[in-house]
Amino acid sequence: MNHNAIARSWVEHANGHRDFPLQNLPLGIFSRLGQAPRCGVAIGDAILDLEVVLAAGLFDGAAKAAVEATVGGALNAFFALGRAARVALRERLLVLLGEGSEHQAALKAALYPASECQLHLPAKIGDYTDFYVGIEHAKNVGKLFRPDNPLLPNYKHVPIGYHGRASTIRASGADVRRPKGQTLPAGQTEPSFGPCARLDYELELGIWIGQGNDMGQPIPVGDAAEHVAGFCLLNDWSARDIQAWEYQPLGPFLSKSFITTVSPWVVTAEALEPFRCAQPARPEGDPQPLSYLLDKRDQAAGAFDIELEVLLLTERMREQNLPAHRLTLSSTRSMYWTVAQMVAHHSVNGCQLQPGDLFGSGTLSGAAPGSFGSLLEITEGGKHPVELASGEVRKFLEDGDEIILRARCVREGAASIGFGECRGTIVAAN
């Protein structure tokens, strides 16, 4: 029942929906005008209010406990319940929303047009870690700054990451205020202070942590997938000129912490099961992961096949009624490390992960032009501007530009699902 490709919903607009057919059922936090935020499920172009369904007595057992854990406007307590609770809720929702459901009349009262609702962050994020597992991005950026040695020696031995800033993560639609900071202009010997001139996007997969671990107790790689609640899209906005001045010797700081945008719907690990795949074989000569990072099941089915897309819409394009310009078409298949390896490595030193923690995958670029996940790569640091149908060119992002991230899962024999959009529009510096 979990992955019946031909199953249909009585919610007609969900059938064949690009992102949210019956087979997806992602969870998020939403609010209606004058109401407090609460948990809902995306179905087609609508949101099902789980608190209303709970009050109607349509959940029992483990599914009821799962919904009760969502009350309060954040999914942390629900994430903490783990896989069994997610499965129980999913199975009950498939019955309630499936074609022929006997509860359609009661459920219609709990179904709201998504266009009339505001979406919020799905959880209270205690910690945020950004990884660097997109090897094509790592090579592309390395070639720009270290042509003779694009990948540093540790890259193929350890999932590289850094601690990000959880307080400035926002849900899709929030404005992106151009940051100010120190930069070292070309040809100068002293830094200056002012608005970022080389603002960029980064296309990433977001990973929501479910059940955590006790401090001092690592999560084995073979168990790590059980600690992942779901996934989203993530835009790690980057101030490249600030980054170039500050990143040595300790890495990104103010160039990354001004905002990170995530798509608001949590696509559960269960919804993505049909789109799992083998981790791509390492090229001959690459080192095998150390034993704490290596698990046969994870290598056989620990990767995901998710198509990723980035679109750019400028103010002039909106004025001319032009469609958004596709900058990137990429895939999660470029991840050199699996999600389970990221979880295992993060916790191997005894670090405590907690429900609602968020990981970023790092920029997911492909190997070929057209699949690069940042303007830094697309324009080779500004050397080759992007030409737009409006007559404009872009080396980096300008005020008024909107970046749109999308993701889609397609496989023969499975119903296609998507993630919804992750949007952000640049506004002028204060």
Token pair 């530009």 is at which residue?
401
| Rounded Cα gap, residues 101 and 107, in angstroms | 10
Residue 1: predicted pLDDT: 47
* pLDDT tens digits, 156-181: 999 999 999 999 999 999 999 999 99
Residue 149: predicted pLDDT: 81
Residue 125: predicted pLDDT: 98
| Rounded Cα gap, residues 341 and 321, in angstroms | 45
| Rounded Cα gap, residues 386 and 325, in angstroms | 10
Q: Which of 189-193, 250-254, 326-330, 372-376 has the lowest mean pLDDT?
A: 250-254
- pTM recorded for the entire structure: 0.97
Q: How many residues does the chain have?
A: 430
Residue 111: predicted pLDDT: 98
Average pLDDT over residues 338-349: 98
In eight-state DSSP terms, residue 332 is: G
Q: What percent of the chain has pLDDT over 90?
A: 95
Average pLDDT over residues 266-285: 96
- pLDDT confidence tier of residue 322, bands split at 50, 70 and 90: very high
* pLDDT tens digits, 201-231: 999 999 999 999 999 999 999 999 999 999 9
User: Using a CB cutoff of 8 Å and minimum separation of 24, what contacts does 269-272 make?
Assistant: 269/83, 269/86, 269/225, 269/228, 269/229, 269/230, 269/231, 270/2, 270/83, 270/86, 270/87, 270/90, 271/23, 271/24, 271/25, 271/26, 271/90, 271/230, 271/417, 272/231, 272/304, 272/306, 272/409, 272/417
**Mean of all residue pLDDT scores within the chain:** 97
Q: What percent of the chain has pLDDT over 70?
A: 100
* In the predicted structure, residue 390 carries a pLDDT above the cut 90: yes
- Check residues 152 and 343 and name the one with the higher pLDDT: 343
HSE toward the beta carbon, residue 198, CA cutoff 13 A: 23
Q: Is 207:339 a contact under the CB 8 Å cutoff?
A: yes
SS3 at position 282? coil
In eight-state DSSP terms, residue 225 is: G
* DSSP result, 26-90: -EEEEE-TTS--EEEEEETTEEEEHHHHHHTT---HHHHHHHHTTTTT-SHHHHHH-HHHHHHHH
| Rounded Cα gap, residues 425 and 397, in angstroms | 10
| Rounded Cα gap, residues 163 and 253, in angstroms | 9
Of 122, 112, 106, nearest in space to 32 by CA: 112
| Rounded Cα gap, residues 429 and 131, in angstroms | 28
| Rounded Cα gap, residues 126 and 212, in angstroms | 12
Peptide linkage before 21 cis (omega within 30 of 0): no
Q: E strands of 291-349, at which residues?
A: 303-304, 307-313, 325-331
**CB neighbour burial string for 260-291, b if at least 16 within 10 angstroms, e if fewer:** bbbbbbbbbbbbbebbebebeeeeeeeeebee
Q: Which of 3, 103, 137, 325 is catalytic?
A: 137
Clarify whether 345 is annotated catalytic: no
Q: Which domains does the chain have, with CATH numbers?
A: 12-120 (2.30.30.230), 128-427 (3.90.850.10)
